[in-house]
Amino acid sequence: MRRAVCPGSFDPVTLGHLDIVGRASQLFDEVVVAVGVNPSKSRLFSDEERIAMLERACADFDNVTVSSFSGLLTEFCRREGIIAIVKGLRAVSDFDYELQMAQMNASLAAEVETVFIPTAPEYSFLASSLVKEVAGLGGDVSALVPDFVLQALVARLTSGDAAADEPGAP
């Protein structure tokens, strides 16, 4: 049984994430989509909301489950018997960071491999932070997220109780 993890913040899940998860699910026996839980980062959606949205979005994939982790991803991999960390690559800027992270993770757990999957061209510009920013300004992001995520975004962004966006978002 070859298990892989697709880690991320998924705040919220986009069609770009789901493209990577779906392609990873073709390569591995089982894929765990793992939501990183970090109390020091403010998110638009709570941990529970992000997990629930992912569970709904991944329901059609037979071999995909949703989980969460805090602390080191490599420790999560060891605990869960995961042999590969799957990351999507959009641009050179992703590569710089992801290569550094992959090498750090390899130094922590040499038995866990990092696998990069190139973004589908139609999602190469797509990031959760940008979706939130554009939706918050009234832009149409319906082609970029599942329908129920769009509804949750609109509800959250118009309710006035949105948490601050994650640090570093444009």
Torsion angle of the four alpha carbons 155, 157, 160, 164, in this order, in degrees rounded to the nearest 10: 140
Give the dihedral sign, CA 31/55/36/119: positive
Residue number, 63 or 114, with CB nearest to ligand ADP = 114
Binding mask 91-130 for ligand ADP (x = CB under 6 A): ---x------------------------x---x--xxxx-
- For residue 1, the minimal CB distance to ligand ADP (Å) is 23
Q: Is 88 in the site for ligand ADP (CB under 6 A)?
A: yes
- For ligand ADP, how many residues bind (rule: CB under 6 A)? 17
- In what side-by-side order are the strands of the sheet with 64-69? 64-69, 30-36, 3-8, 84-89, 113-118
User: What's the Rg (C-alpha) of the chain?
Assistant: 16
Q: Rule CB under 6 A: which residues touch ligand ADP?
A: 8-10, 14, 16-17, 20, 87-88, 90, 94, 119, 123, 126-129
